[in-house]
Amino acid sequence: MTGKRVVIVESPTKARTLTAYLGRGFEVHSSKGHVRDLPDKELGVDVKRGFSAKWVVRDRRVVSALKRAVREAAAVYLATDPDREGEAIAFDLLELLGDGARERFARVLLHEITPEAVQRALAEPGQVDLNKVEAQRARRILDRLVGYQVSPLLSLVLAGRRFEGLSAGRVQSVALRFICDRELEIQDFVPLPYWEVQARFPTEPPFSAKLAGKITAPEEVERLRQALAAARFVVEEVVEEEVKRRPPPPFITSTLQQAAASELRMSPRRTMQIAQQLYEGVDVKGERLGLITYMRTDSVRVADSAIKEARALIRDRFGRDYLSPRPRKFRNKRRSQDAHEAIRPSQVTLTPEEVAPHLTPEQAKLYGLIWRRFVATQMADGIWKRVKVTIKAGEQLLKASASRPLFPGFTQVLPVGKLEDEGVELPDGLAPGLELPAPKLEFLEKQTEPPGRYTEAGLIRKLEREGIGRPSTYAQIVTVIQERGYVLRENGALRPTLLGHVVTDFLREHFPETVREDFTARMEEDLDRIQEGEADRLEVLSRFYEWFSKRLERVEQELQEGKKPFRVLSDVRCPNCGAPMEVRVWKGGLYLGCSRYPECKTTRNLPANLKYRYRPGKVELAEALAEADDAPGAPCPNCGTPMQLKHGRYGRFLACPSCRATAPVPSGVTCPKCGQGELVERYSTRRGAFWACNRYPDCRFALPGKPLQSCPECKKGVLYEDPRHGRRCSNPDCPSRSG
């Protein structure tokens, strides 16, 4: 056995960073993610034998290479990520590579990747946390039980046969239900009128005051108009006050994703990808550095040494006045996992301006966001002066206010939105008893507005508030429901597709617990209790499967008896027998089939993005379909007859009703790669629907979403609807993709 020491991490990027730090005497290798998982083509869980799981090696070549690397090592450090998934990887590596010499193996937790932190971690190795491993195993088994057993039922019920494409996830289903419920609220919303009263006084400068509250009765408007027209307007009270604005806590995973979405227009998934790069290490001034601490955390705790470093920087850079009077610390929410610090710069002295030349635009923007947020936590409060005026007019009170900043405090580095009355000017000399000149009265008629759709950031905020998911899963939840075609990102917001509504209602009817936030939150708490050693994995899985198996059996029994456990009827009548047609699903999307099937086998295609009005168990489509039928189709290249949109085994296509010629669905957008072909819709079992050049195989250009037009900004790419990122350009160097 040699004296070499081996460090194993998941990521090749992290391996390169640690290699630069450790030097001679160390070898750093990557496991390339999980080394074991449940099998792909079978359940892999024996529910009758204590939910024993079949863990299979994902890539034997990787494991073989790692075995060779550790065979003669004096010590092996398992430095996978410091969370449940990382702990499970460390455990699997220990089992696969231990070979009876486990005393050589030690667990190393890298909460930040800097030379000092790495040396400190290696000097204080520990053991694999088996409770964390148990929690990860329980989560993986739960997800497999739901996904592997409900998903086939979805396809059997909605399509009549099994196929890949439809899925139900333990946590994703609740997120989808939130989006669908919000859409139903918007759809059923009835706007109500109300009035706001504003008085504009002809003083120097002029100012406005508003009547407190809203008026909802039309008859009250006229009564109030007459009363105010005859009233004297007298200042009743003038109050001056200081408004303090305190900095928010440092980022945790959810708040980082929300801020990056709203300020940088980054999707949660992209945010985590960039944060992973900053954590694992980038080249700065010829040295490889991990720039931020671990990015999957729900703790706002910060190490005392980091607070001290931040306060020294603030004192030197901004002066003592900008330093908070005492070190500021924040309190964690209930059941937050305190294993990791908040997300912060590993070295706060590395300012965004200093590192930006060495980073990509996205890395620089995200690092700047994290750096500013952390530094702001140790800065003084911002102070504003506000003047509030109350004006009496008969029996009514009107209010006006104005504010201005006195001291910027933390807003010097972390810009915040203006106060509602910031920048408003009030005349000098306002004092109690002063009678004001008669104002110009305005009765502004408005309408109540429906709730807004969830954005990606808003959905994450909702999931966090309800206790659903964990820092490591938020981005995945938001991504999966879009990739499955259940949700579209439209103008920055999430809109459910008809397929999303159908899947949600199926789960709501037959597996209601999977779409209930309280139940899902309790499951997350159970996983936390397993991690903390307060609950047993078998107990949690058994309690879950007791009700779950009964619901599975009921649906399976109905299918075996030839019954239809679930259907969504439409207001469209079958053209052959007059029965209502129902929504059905096949690989490329949705279509209508006669509800009397198999007696009547009539089908009808549904155009993409068709407008609809959804009700549980029923959808209104007839009006939108009539409009679509009136629109002329593309002429058949053979006979000139307008072609019709059809839906087949391999997705959508155009078909001629006269000569039966077929053609792919066109986009009208020229291929940016060859400049000759047109981008048309294609389908594959692996990728689902996508768009590709019709000159294939001569040109292999393809896009994951519908092409819209040639990019007006870079002139080289194509704007398309990306399933994960919304509208974007296909050209990776386009300036529009830097934001």
| pLDDT tens digit sequence for 549-577 | 999 999 999 988 888 889 999 999 998 89
Q: Under DSSP, is residue 106 helix (H, G, I), strand (E, B) or coil?
A: strand
Distance CA 576, CA 664 (A): 28
- For residue 657, the model assigns a pLDDT of 82
State pLDDT tens for residues 486-498.
Answer: 898 888 899 999 9
- For residue 650, the model assigns a pLDDT of 67
State pLDDT tens for residues 110-131.
Answer: 988 888 889 999 999 999 999 9
- For residue 92, the model assigns a pLDDT of 95
The pLDDT of residue 79 is above 80: yes
List of residues 6+ apart from 258 with CB closer than 8 A: 457, 458, 460, 461
| Residue that wins the pLDDT comparison between 249 and 686 | 249
Distance CA 294, CA 279 (A): 6
Token pair belonging to 571: 């207001």
The pLDDT of residue 588 is above 60: no
137-188+453-560 has which CATH code?
1.10.460.10
DSSP 250-307: PB-HHHHHHHHHHHH---HHHHHHHHHHHHH-EEETTEEE--BB-S--------HHHH
- Cis peptide bond prior to 580, omega within 30° of 0: no
The pLDDT of residue 627 is above 80: no
The pLDDT of residue 312 is above 80: yes
Cα 25 to chain centroid distance, Å, stands at 42
State pLDDT tens for residues 294-308.
Answer: 998 888 999 999 999
Confidence category of residue 353, pLDDT binned at 50, 70, 90: very high
Q: Under DSSP, is residue 39 helix (H, G, I), strand (E, B) or coil?
A: coil
| Residue that wins the pLDDT comparison between 163 and 598 | 598
Asked whether 419 and 405 are in contact (CB, 8 A), the reply is: no
State pLDDT tens for residues 170-188.
Answer: 889 999 999 999 999 999 9
Catalytic residue numbers? Answer: 294
Q: Average the pLDDT over 3-28 and give the result.
A: 90
- For residue 337, the model assigns a pLDDT of 58
Specify the DSSP class assigned to residue 209.
Answer: E
H/E stretch holding 542 reads helix 537-560
Residues of the chain with CATH 1.10.460.10: 137-188+453-560
The pLDDT of residue 249 is above 70: yes
The pLDDT of residue 450 is above 90: yes
H/E stretch holding 221 reads helix 218-230
| Residue that wins the pLDDT comparison between 644 and 429 | 429
The pLDDT of residue 607 is above 80: no
The pLDDT of residue 628 is above 80: no
253-376 has which CATH code?
1.10.290.10
Architecture per CATH, domain 664-738, reads as 2-Layer Sandwich (3.30)
The domain defined by 5-128 carries CATH number 3.40.50.140: yes
Residues of the chain with CATH 3.40.50.140: 5-128
Strands 5-9 and 75-78, sheet pairing: parallel
List of residues 6+ apart from 249 with CB closer than 8 A: 255, 300, 330, 342, 377
Q: Average the pLDDT over 372-384 and give the result.
A: 97
Which of the given ranges, 191-205, 467-481, 618-632, has the highest pLDDT on average? 191-205
The crossing angle, in degrees rounded to 10, of helices 84-97 and 130-159 is: 110
Beta pairing partners, 194: 446
Q: Average the pLDDT over 272-291 and give the result.
A: 91
Mean per-residue pLDDT over the chain, rounded: 89
H/E stretch holding 634 reads none
- For residue 739, the model assigns a pLDDT of 46
Asked whether 467 and 264 are in contact (CB, 8 A), the reply is: no
The pLDDT of residue 462 is above 90: yes
The pLDDT of residue 652 is above 50: yes
Residues of the chain with CATH 3.30.65: 664-738
pTM of the model: 0.82
User: Phi and psi (nearest 5°) for 702?
Assistant: -150, 155
Strands 233-245 and 382-393, sheet pairing: antiparallel
Distance CA 291, CA 726 (A): 29
Q: Under DSSP, is residue 177 helix (H, G, I), strand (E, B) or coil?
A: helix
Strands of the sheet with 678-684, listed across from one edge: 666-670, 678-684, 688-693, 702-703
What are the CB-based long-range contacts (under 8 Å, 24+) for 136-141?
A: 136/84, 136/85, 136/87, 136/88, 137/53, 137/88, 137/537, 138/526, 138/527, 138/530, 138/537, 138/540, 138/541, 139/84, 139/527, 140/37, 140/38, 140/53, 140/88, 141/38, 141/45, 141/51, 141/53, 141/541
Strands 5-9 and 26-30, sheet pairing: parallel
H/E stretch holding 553 reads helix 537-560
Strands 487-490 and 52-53, sheet pairing: unpaired
Query: N- to C-terminal Cα distance for the chain?
Result: 52
The pLDDT of residue 469 is above 90: no
The pLDDT of residue 533 is above 50: yes
Architecture per CATH, domain 193-246+382-447, reads as Distorted Sandwich (2.70)
Asked whether 445 and 193 are in contact (CB, 8 A), the reply is: yes
- For residue 277, the model assigns a pLDDT of 94
- For residue 629, the model assigns a pLDDT of 62
Q: Average the pLDDT over 441-449 and give the result.
A: 93
Residues of the chain with CATH 2.70.20.10: 193-246+382-447
